[in-house]
Amino acid sequence: MSILTIKDLHVTYGTGTPAVRGVDLTVAAGRKLGVAGESGCGKSTLALALLRLLPASARLTGEILLDGEDVLTMKWGRLRAVRWAGASIVFQGAMHSLNAVHRIGDQIAEPLLVHRRATPAEARARAGALLEQVGLPAARAAAYPHELSGGQRQRVMIAMALACEPRLLVADEPTTALDVMIQAQILRLLDQLVTDQDISLVMISHDLAVLADTCDRLAVMYAGRVVEEGPARDVYDAARHPYGRALSAAFPRIGDPASRRAPRGLPGDPPDPAALPSGCTFHPRCPVALESCASQDPPLAPAAPGHVAACVLTTGSPA
């Protein structure tokens, strides 16, 4: 049974920046999907679309089924309920999402008071318990955000995301702003919490190694599309798409400081969505491109058991 099914999702900003171009993805209940790709390939746009948190200028088409219900056509009241109780998002740069003038315990308790109709005493007790779950003493509830380290603030964000017991957690580069040692701790914590509580996870990162370690399945995005998807270990160890191979070669292990840089050995930058290359959008950077790649854009097709890739070399010539 899938908790999240994304069908042919397109997101276009303003007058024509196609940031997401026809994404299909599925997350089974209790499973973890990693989404990888360089900066600018549409990962955050995809995450925001899941709960309709995109700016008003964004046009969306397709379907986003959460437990079978389409988020894109949900009425506002239902959407609000789903945002609190069905799915939660942990974003990068958590420090900016906490309110500087409120104690963290009150910030964790607030959704419980508003959306769960908890009494103040219940909400306080639950906030303390949530802090302990994320490895902070309950007494830290009295602290203000500036009194915490970056890693502690990210733990608080995770506690807030878990407060209403979501069925799906979306973590968008949840550790990018943190020190590498702390990154590993936070990722382990997230991994353990979602496993223990049987929450489904969509974990977004530019670092394939991190995702291979935490997730069941892995999708690689390039220029707004999924170009490869399969069992996480397979995609990391034996990528079938040249871009997936470049990404996995770039990030040898968790905690490597090089993981903050662009993939090694891959020239150039990802394309500007407003001026996409013809044919396979990866062809200007692809080390094994054929002449036909400049004009032919291969669709995702089976490349190995349970593993799809959009490359003419792994899936045969386009018709």
Give the binding site for Mg ion (CB under 5 A): 43-44
Binding residue for ligand SF4, selected from 60, 290, 301, 304, defined by CB under 6 A: 290
Residue 117 CB, shortest distance to ligand SF4, in Å, is: 53
| Residue 113 within binding range of ligand SF4, rule CB under 6 A | no
C-beta of 21 vs 43, nearer to Mg ion: 43
6 contacts ligand ADP (rule: CB under 6 A): no
Query: What span, in angstroms and rounded, lies between the C-alpha atoms of 277 and 41?
Result: 14
Q: Which is nearer to ligand ADP, 19 or 108 (CB)?
A: 19
Tell me the helices (H) and strands (E) count for the chain, helix number first: 10, 12
One-character DSSP codes across 277-312: PSSSTTTTT-TT--GGGGT--PPPEEEETTEEE--H
| 223 belongs to the binding site for ligand SF4 (CB under 6 A) | no
Nearest in space to 186 (alpha carbons), one of 92, 123, 109, 48:
92
Beta bridge partners of 140: none
Q: Does 39 bind ligand ADP (CB under 6 A)?
A: yes
> Can you tell me which of 6, 41, 171, 266 binds ligand ADP, judged by CB under 6 A?
41
Helix (H, G, I), strand (E, B) or coil at 258: helix
- C-alpha span between 142 and 105 (Å, rounded): 6
User: Rounded to the nearest whole angstrom, what is the least distance from the CB of residue 14 to Mg ion in the complex?
Assistant: 18
Which of these ranges, 10-18, 62-70, 71-79, 235-243, lies near ligand ADP under the rule CB under 6 A?
10-18
For Mg ion, the closer of residues 41 and 303 by Cβ is: 41
DSSP annotation of 262 reads P
Q: Is 298 in the site for ligand ADP (CB under 6 A)?
A: no
Residue 42 near ligand ADP by CB under 6 A: yes
Cβ(147)–Cβ(65) under 8 Å? no
Cα→Cα distances 146→17, 150, 201, 231, Å: 37, 9, 29, 40
Nearer to ligand SF4, 172 or 297 (CB): 297
Residues in contact with ligand SF4 by CB under 6 A are 241-242, 280, 282-283, 286, 288-290, 293, 298, 311-313
